[in-house]
Structure 1
Amino acid sequence: MDVDYEAERGRMVEQQLAARGIEDQRVLDAMRRVPRHEFVPETAARYAYEDHPMPIGDGQTISQPYIVALMLEAARIGPEDSVLDVGTGSGYAAAVAAQLAHRVVSIERHPGLAVTAAATLEALGYRVNVVTGDGTLGWTDGAPYDAIVAAATGPSLPRAWVEQLAPRGRIVMPIGRPGGAQHLAVFQRRADGELRETNLGAVAFVPLVGDEAWPEA
């Protein structure tokens, strides 16, 4: 039986996002437009709009739709903003961010995932610059960034991201040990240059691996 993906997206937005407190209309509209089923393995496409993360290979996952929306809402991305998306994965979150921002750079440490995500994004018409590298070091060629969003948990805020953050910029990332206690943190750069942290609650993410986070297992 064929799946009505547009209807499934609509239900996802209303039941999983709006009903649970996501209020940013631009984020809700972007999540309505981006075809999440195109960013998961074909055999799993019919489950793409369910309320849970999904494996995409190389030990990585595509995040739960609610978490993607929560992080992008917290990043407060404006139409003229530049965004660094750390942990491209399937490219889904970068595609949603591309609906919100002027420019998106997405960095992935797994070359295979980076190639696949870049191909999917290009085929669907999303303008995202996908690069391969250590996400904990950011990407200086695209700095400064108005928002940095990371889909993996680190022990602390990487110094490189702070250096690449624009005045009044925001960083959204999970903090905590893989398999242990983690929380979703939002860092806001204030007018005096200092960062103010807000805790958005408990989450569970794969580890952020790199020079300024966890070592390779």
Structure 2
Amino acid sequence: MLNLEDTYSHKGQRKALVELIKKKGIQDEAVLNAINTIPRHFFFESALHSHAYEDKAFPIGEGQTISQPFTVAFQTELLQVEPGDKVLEIGTGSGYQASILYLLGAELHTIEYQKKLYEQTKKFLPKIGIKVNFYHGDGSQGLPSQAPFDKIIVTAAAPEVPKSLLQQLKVGGILVIPIGGRLSQKMMKFTKRSPKKIIQEEFENFAFVPLLGKEGWEGSK
């Protein structure tokens, strides 16, 4: 039985978490409000509820994790989501990041490689009022059927930037993706100024699970 109770204690823990990620440098009020609004414990097994508001990543099965809240906030802040933006998320996972993007007003298309996670999250998110478009498939190749996108966010580590994603980004659009080795990656932001001009910015190190698929680690073997 799914227990979707959000107590005063949970709300207090969420407020403390928001203060913590604020101290770590997150300034976007809309992002902070979204983190403060979404009950992160809803995405955890009940045995792990006491850890839900720690600023840590946790396993969610299928070799995947629910990202650290600071990481979610950092990526989301870089993405600069405006209400009505058509956003592609690669790596639905638990649906926590998708929920944050939905609260920011994104028209969200989210794709998951792992069938079991796709099915679980597609069933779960509508129960907490999160309405997004779900897809199962190889996110490393983007989602050509719905392209182009205003913003693209990748929640898994790629060895290099997938060309398909840059192609599916609108002019003026932003792609946020961790790039690097399997153990550590640099957060990268690509802004498409024109069809041929892409501005690249590099931020701090993070550790993500590998991006699977043809333009992820499988294609780099």
User: Same fold, TM exceeding 0.5?
Assistant: yes
Is the aligned partner of 1:200 residue 2:203? yes
Contact 1:39–1:120 (CA<8 Å) still a contact in 2?
no
3-state SS, counterpart of residue 182 of structure 2: coil
Mapped to 2, the partners of 1:93 and 1:121 lie a distance apart of: 11
3-state SS, counterpart of residue 4 of structure 1: helix
Mapped to 1, the partners of 2:206 and 2:178 lie a distance apart of: 7
Mapped to 1, the partners of 2:153 and 2:45 lie a distance apart of: 24
Is the aligned partner of 1:152 residue 2:147? no
Which residue, out of 3, 9, 12, partners 1:4?
9
- Residues 78-124 of structure 1: per-residue CA shift (max 9 Å, x gap): 00201111101100000001111330011001011011111221100
Contact 2:158–2:179 (CA<8 Å) still a contact in 1?
yes
User: For structure 2, which runs of at least 5 residues remain unmatched after alignment?
Assistant: 1-6
Mapped to 2, the partners of 1:149 and 1:82 lie a distance apart of: 11
Using the size of structure 1 for normalisation, the TM-score is 0.94
Give the paired residue count: 214
Mapped to 1, the partners of 2:39 and 2:187 lie a distance apart of: 25
Name the counterpart of 1:40: 44
Is the aligned partner of 1:189 residue 2:192? yes
- Residues 26-65 of structure 1: per-residue CA shift (max 9 Å, x gap): 1111111111111122221221110110000011000000
**1:132 offset after TM fit, Å?**
0.4
Using the size of structure 2 for normalisation, the TM-score is 0.92
Is the aligned partner of 1:140 residue 2:147? no
3-state SS, counterpart of residue 209 of structure 1: coil
Mapped to 2, the partners of 1:61 and 1:44 lie a distance apart of: 13
Name the counterpart of 1:61: 65
- Residues 4-46 of structure 1: per-residue CA shift (max 9 Å, x gap): 111111110011x111111111111111111111112222122
Q: RMSD in angstroms over aligned alpha carbons?
A: 1.6
Name the counterpart of 2:98: 94
Counterpart code for 1:63? S
Mapped to 2, the partners of 1:144 and 1:43 lie a distance apart of: 41
User: For structure 1, which runs of at least 5 residues remain unmatched after alignment?
Assistant: none
Mapped to 1, the partners of 2:196 and 2:87 lie a distance apart of: 19
Post-superposition, which runs of at least 4 consecutive aligned residues in structure 1 deviate over 4 A? none
**1:141 offset after TM fit, Å?**
2.3
Contact 1:84–1:149 (CA<8 Å) still a contact in 2?
yes
Is the aligned partner of 1:103 residue 2:107? yes
Mapped to 2, the partners of 1:175 and 1:107 lie a distance apart of: 19
Counterpart code for 1:89? G
